[in-house]
Structure 1
Amino acid sequence: MQENGVFFMRTEDWEMLAELYRTENITQAAQRLFLSQPTLTSRIKKMEMYYDVQLIIRKQRGITFTPEGEQLALHAQKMLYEQRRIEEQLHNMKDQFAGTIRVGVSNFFALNKMPKLLRLFKQNYPDVEFQVVTGWSSEMHRLILNHDVHIGFIKGDYIWNENKHLLYEEEICIASPWDFQWEDLPQLPRIDYHTDEKMRSIVDQWWYSTYKQNPNINIQVNQVETCKEMVIHGLGYAVIANLVVRPHTDLFIRPIHLPSGESVTRKTWMYYHEETLKLNIVKAFVQFIETLDVKAL
């Protein structure tokens, strides 16, 4: 920023650098920060003039950071982390249940569980705000590892040496618009959807331990909800988590099993760092979640 001809860094500049480093794209960073591209570009140029180094290199698609720019962007991330930490500590010192809880949530959980959880929690703690980030469970695992969020709601078992609470375990099943025989599945049309590596590995392990043929995938979609709608409309079957299709009683839903007879399941966890429980609002939210039957919501 610049006042009376003198440039100095502010929180907004650290946020801009961190977001640009995360996206490597000026257009995306500007959109996420609610800035115009010319404004973002102008602020980068002022920083380059101030530090007397080139920070970014424009490519045909997106940008890349110079070594000097990367060093400053990593410093920006540290500055933002310290700013959040001191704000949280100050709120906590007031001994009040107010402030913002940062949560990373897997896509299905965000759509089907999170709105109800937040509504119930805010009935008792109306002054608490939430910053919710959604995406694949692997992305949410990275966020909680890096302390970018206080709490992660994650499907699947990831490497984690701190606190976690099992929310529920669900069966992986075949959901079909018509009755079927197990031996006929390789010939029947299957609808596939983009998912994280953990889920893909579970499904592939089951399939290739059961069948020698490849599945007959005739439709591929990006989202599990789109896949579910395709199944409902009779276009094929899907290998899918039970909670996604459980409300649709007109479908033929059968759990899958390994050759050993063991059912194939996937767990959903709440991950959090022990140190975050020092914050009143985080501790209250964790305790609130632990008392609920989340699967039944």
Structure 2
Amino acid sequence: MLALKAEQYMKFIKEVHSEISILKKNERNVINIASSYTYNKNYLPQVLSSYLKNNNNVNFVVVTDESSALFKKVCDKEVDVGFVRGTYNANICQKKICTAKAYLVTKRHFSKEKLLHLRKIEYKCSEKTRITLDNWIENNLNNNTSIINAGYVDVALEYVYNNLGFTCCFLDDNYLNIYNLVLTPLLDEDGEYITRNTWFIYNPAKKLSNCTKNFINYIESNIIGYDESNMNF
């Protein structure tokens, strides 16, 4: 009996500490955001800048990782909201922001025979993205070619420009092709574009602060449904 009461008391204390932590967080107006590397680099600064024009008392903490890991953080209530690349399944709120196409990226036009002998330039990405792109390479090129791991996709594109090989990646419609690289859309077996969605996600089971709820309303009203190539902030 005493052990049971002690366990109940400890649970109560833990809940009290959790509530106090939430109250303190509300006072600081901190929003924890999980964002993929490419979304964080190319779009999130504009999103936050626009939001802060009318909400300048809000603080943000942004964490980046592979989208699969970020999705898990949202599911596990470790962060408040997330911007992830690729579609994952869980009982959380997911709102589609946009869709990007996949491309074979080369320095210049190559015959298929010559493509088979080019190095493949890889980079850090989610397992889902890697499987999608590698499946296309396996079915259309040579997946046993020599490899260079460039670290990140923007660096991989620099490697392509410097004649180190080819890469496959998803590019947004407003990608600035400053090096005039050859972008060949990847098609599936039915001749359809291979695409990847970008999602805004949050877990309704997590107790969210008022400033986080306000931020969610802003995203849903101003960002959701707008193509990235036409975003006006």
TM-score, scaled to structure 2: 0.81
Aligned to 2:23: 86
Determine which of 234, 238, 247 is the counterpart of 2:176.
247
User: Contact 1:193 / 1:222 at 8 angstroms: preserved in 2?
Assistant: yes
Which ranges in structure 1 are unaligned for 5 or more consecutive residues? Answer: 1-76, 92-97
Once the 2 structures are TM-superposed, how far is the Cα of residue 202 of structure 1 from its aligned partner?
0.6
**Shift, 1:150, TM fit:** 0.6
Match of 1:220 among 138, 146, 149: 149
The residue type equivalent to 2:125 in the other structure is T
CA distance in 2, matches of 1:268, 1:287: 18
How far apart, CA to CA, are the structure 2 residues paired with 1:134 and 1:198?
A: 17
- Contact 2:77 2:206 (C-alpha < 8 Å) held by counterparts: no
- The verdict on how the C-alpha distance between 1:78 and 1:263 changes in structure 2, with shifts beyond 3 A counting, is farther
Instruction: Report the AA paired with residue 148 of structure 2.
Output: I
Structure 1 residue 146 displacement after superposition: 1.3
For 2:112 and 2:130, locate their aligned partners in 1 and report how far apart those are by CA, in whole Å: 20
Give the number of the structure whose residues are more often helix, by fraction. Answer: 1
Matched, 1:119 2:52: no
Which residue does 1:133 correspond to in 2? 63
How many residue pairs match? The answer is: 213
Looking at structure 2, the residues matched to 232 and 78 of structure 1 have their Cα atoms a distance apart, in angstroms, of: 55
- How much has 1:83 moved relative to structure 2? 4.2
1:196 aligns with 2:196: no
Change (3 A) 1:294 1:79: farther
CA RMSD of aligned residues (A): 2.6
Alpha carbons of structure 1 residues 286 and 186: separation in structure 2 relative to 1, 3 Å? same
Output the CA distance in 1 between the equivalents of 2:199 and 2:77: 17
Is 1:109 the counterpart of 2:42 in the alignment?
no
Aligned position for 2:165: 236
Partners of 1:222 and 1:232 in 2: CA distance: 16
Q: Which residue among 259, 262, 283 is the counterpart of 2:189? A: 259
Match of 1:148 among 69, 72, 78: 78
For structure 2, list consecutive stretches of 5 or more residues without a partner in the other structure.
1-13
Structure with the larger RCO, 1 or 2 (CA within 8 Å, 6+ apart): 2
TM-score where L is the length of structure 1: 0.65
Quick one: structure 1 residues 83 and 139, their matched pair in 2 at CA, closer, same or farther if it must change by over 3 Å? farther
Change (3 A) 1:215 1:174: farther
Structure 1 pair 245–116 and aligned structure 2 pair: CA distance change class (3 A): closer
Q: Which amino acid aligns with 1:133?
A: V
Q: Give the aligned residue type for 2:22.
A: R
> Residues 168, 206 of structure 1: CA spacing in aligned structure 2 closer, same or farther, 3 A cutoff?
same
Question: What does residue range 1-297 of structure 1 map to in structure 2 within 5 Å?
Answer: 81-88=18-25, 91=27, 99-182=29-112, 184-211=114-141, 213-243=142-172, 246-249=175-178, 250-275=180-205, 279-290=209-220, 291-292=222-223, 293=226, 295-296=228-229, 297=231
Q: Residue 273 of structure 1: CA displacement?
A: 1.8
Q: Which residue of 2 aligns with 1:22?
A: none
